Structure 1
């Protein structure tokens, strides 16, 4: 089977799909207007489009039509509905699979009625649509009510790489490290995390200073909010226990997760929650907001806690339970690992995608 991926070569998610599908025997040709930043398997051909930027999604349509004619793929698979979904729509190829990712559904159509109308057209022009979560599929149906059959295709994790956290540092007086691995941008709610830990340390643990002294906050990632977040940690009185580590390569994420005791994702908006899946695979209990697809990947009260978004008091209460109870942390971490292995193993997700390919190409 020959599949042309119309996607960003600079996205780790696009590259993961391309490499995994190629490893399963699918002939992959990646068409992109973005520079390649991650390593692709040598058998994957990359065809760079002539135009870039937002207008490139329109101006590249003719070049894509020519490439489709020359390559004669069995399927065109476009990733990201507002950008490459536009190019796919203008290419008029059949069959086309369109994968929606997140901001293309949650943000793009809110900019204006025109943006909403255009996205709806892109979605309905595709032969089939795939979403990373049920929550995002439901959001998409608000824009295109005619859309009935949406396949759920999670960004799973390689559970053999993201493995259980070792317990060699879990001595009774060891630091309890709360943390996250996210881009430091407003919609990920890192400010809410800082406020939650401040409430935990300065209020909830006020009568338990020996526990409060063990709390650490580790924030791994880079972004436009870093300086503001550093100031916030200082003004909230937890600057001394907060570490901003900066961005790490994706290959180093398992090592970073092994340094944590509790993983937190208090996003204001989240299409799926790959980072939470990775944390769960590493055997970490998690505290997440109720944004988007996050409640789908966490069994509330079993593998972690789901709290209302924009509510640091509720998040602090959940963290309070976890930092006081090492057995609860272990139990939830184990349950989370089992859940991820059974539902979000990357190889299973890749096979599900190939099944969709086979269904679309057999029509």
Structure 2
């Protein structure tokens, strides 16, 4: 089977998909208007489209049509329903699987009636639709005029990198609580800081010794960095809080190894691969009950799921973990097992391969 990926070639998710699909014996090539960097697998061919930016998604339809005619794939897998979904629809190549990722169905259609119209047209034109989570499938269905099957094809975890056995964790008498996330409003880092301030205040009042044995670590870059640093100062936790800044994805395992508890209090999250990576590293987690996050955490087994915009409840669960080393160890073991059993990239690639096969069978019946 020959499959062409129409996707952002610089995305780590694109890289992981094509690498593991190729490992299954699928002949995979990538077409992208985004540049390729050194991290892209050298054995997988990449074709870069000539036009860039927003207009590129419209102007690249003709160059894409020409490329597909030359490459003769059995199937096209388009990733992202807004931009690349538009290019695929204008190209009029079939069959193709349209994979939705998150902001393309949660944010893009809310910008204007035109954006919503464009998304609906792109979704309707696809032969099959795939989503990384059940929550995102529900969101996508809102933009379809008729009921359709939407396949669930989650992102996986690379256990050759994200494994607590791979990295020596520093032995220290400090409990470090934190996150690895882009510093944007949607990811609720401000909610996290409010929760951490409450944790510190309660520990200082009731467990003064422990209050001197906690630290907070926020890893990630983004537009809200300065605002969040000011908030930490305002909340009186600046002396406990380290803002690491942006790190490359390859160094995320080392950052996670510095944590004892991982927190994700996002306002919206299409899937939750960062939470899965944390669990693969043997970290208990506390996450908000939004989007795909509840799908990647086992309540009271690998972590806690709390109400969104509720720093008080998050603080309560964090304190529970801080006070109980045995509970942290139990959740850590459960978390690693859960991630390995359900979200290996090998298993996810096999699920996607099945979607390709079903799409091809269904398409041949129609023509």
In structure 1, what is the equivalent of residue 230 of structure 2? 231
CA distance in 2, matches of 1:319, 1:224: 27
CA distance in 1, matches of 2:89, 2:159: 35
CA contact (8 A) 2:282 2:335 kept: yes
Shift of 1:145: 4.8
- TM-score (norm: length of structure 2): 0.95
CA contact (8 A) 2:200 2:211 kept: yes
1:96 equivalent in alignment to 2:110: no
CA distance in 2, matches of 1:45, 1:335: 39
Shift of 1:169: 5.0
CA contact (8 A) 2:262 2:283 kept: yes
CA distance in 2, matches of 1:187, 1:265: 11
Shift of 1:355: 1.8
In structure 2, what is the equivalent of residue 46 of structure 1? 46
- TM-score (norm: length of structure 1): 0.96
CA distance in 2, matches of 1:147, 1:88: 22
In structure 2, what is the equivalent of residue 325 of structure 1? 324
| SS of equivalent residue, structure 2 residue 159 | coil
In structure 1, what is the equivalent of residue 260 of structure 2? 261
Q: Which runs of 4+ in 1 moved over 4 A?
A: 165-171
1:272-301 C-alpha deviation (Å, 9 max, x unpaired): 011000001111100001110001101111
Shift of 1:205: 4.2
| SS of equivalent residue, structure 1 residue 335 | helix
CA distance in 2, matches of 1:331, 1:323: 13
| 1:160–1:42 distance in 2 versus 1, CA, 3 Å | closer
CA distance in 1, matches of 2:35, 2:168: 41
Shift of 1:167: 8.7
Shift of 1:194: 0.8
Shift of 1:43: 2.5
CA contact (8 A) 2:169 2:257 kept: no
| SS of equivalent residue, structure 1 residue 47 | strand
CA contact (8 A) 1:19 1:40 kept: no
CA contact (8 A) 2:169 2:258 kept: no
In structure 2, what is the equivalent of residue 349 of structure 1? 348
CA contact (8 A) 2:10 2:37 kept: yes
In structure 1, what is the equivalent of residue 15 of structure 2? 15
CA RMSD across the alignment: 1.5
Shift of 1:147: 3.9
CA distance in 1, matches of 2:292, 2:170: 32
Question: Structure 2 matches for 1:233-312, cutoff 5 A?
Answer: 233-312=232-311
Shift of 1:2: 1.1
Count of equivalent residues? 361
Shift of 1:214: 0.9
CA distance in 2, matches of 1:223, 1:25: 38
CA distance in 2, matches of 1:301, 1:167: 27
CA distance in 2, matches of 1:143, 1:47: 31
In structure 1, what is the equivalent of residue 106 of structure 2? 106
CA distance in 2, matches of 1:78, 1:211: 50
